[in-house]
Amino acid sequence: MKLDEVKNIFDELPQTLGEEFFETLVAEKNFKLERIVSQGHNSPQDFWYDQEQNEFVLVVSGKAVLKFDDGKSINLKTGDYLIIPSHRKHRVDWTDQDQKTFWIALHY
């Protein structure tokens, strides 16, 4: 992507979301910014993200539930964000089936 190119977070998606859609928007040495789109997706039952970097997660639109390996669940709705510390095991437990959930994730 060019520095002066305007894009829209809601545009340029696949026709169907058979799987959760991940797109790297910007990547540098110490961070990566991603756009994620979900609709009825969740992580596999025994899968846990265990990431090397902290992650800032923002739900731009939609709804989701994140679950942590200590049993804690967090409901997220449009506008909600949180920071997940590195190596805090988590998974996507639920995303809304009736609408797309747009996420921004910053790994740093």
* Neighbouring residues of 35: CB distance < 8 A, sequence distance ≥ 6: 9, 21, 22, 23, 25, 102, 103, 104
Q: Which fold has domain 21-107?
A: Jelly Rolls (2.60.120)
What mean pLDDT do residues 70-86 have? 98
Please give the Cα distance from 57 to 94 (Å, whole number). Answer: 15
- Model confidence at 107: pLDDT above 90: yes
Domain definitions of the chain by residue range? 21-107
* pLDDT mean across residues, the chain: 95
What mean pLDDT do residues 53-67 have? 98
What mean pLDDT do residues 3-15 have? 88
- At 77, the pLDDT band (50, 70, 90 cuts) reads very high
- Model confidence at 3: pLDDT above 90: no
Cβ neighbours of 47 (radius 10 Å): 11
